[in-house]
Amino acid sequence: MSQITTHVLDTSRGLPASGIPIVLSHWQAAEWVEIASGITNADGRVSDLLPASQRLSEGRYRLRFSLDGYFIEHQQSVFYPQVDIECNLSGEGEHYHIPLLLSPFGYSTYRGS
């Protein structure tokens, strides 16, 4: 399993949010460096963002969720065209599950299991 996984749920529809592009970046030398990308599946998940063997070093990471296409497809307002979630990883190889709960006018996240 990827060291970082995510799950996007559309709380306004009560369904997983499929087809959302996600980019994982690492803050290095005062800039964001893209290290992986994926698109949420029918269950709203990207479980293979990174190869299972890849371990991330300690540092600051960002998941960028591009939402405008998803909201347009579902004929919803595009108030938040993207959401960035930044977090600090320990570098100890533990698993991080970072869900995103979204609606056209709000979003929430937490560290899952």
Query: Which amino acids are annotated as binding site for substrate, given as ranges?
Result: 7, 45, 110
Annotated binding site: which residue ranges?
Answer: 7, 45, 110
Which residue do the tokens 């963002």 mark? 49
Q: What are the structure tokens assigned to 42, written together?
A: 């029918």
Q: Are 39 and 24 in contact (CB under 8 A)?
A: no
67 Cβ contact partners less than 8 Å away, ≥ 6 residues apart: 20, 78, 80, 81, 82, 83, 102
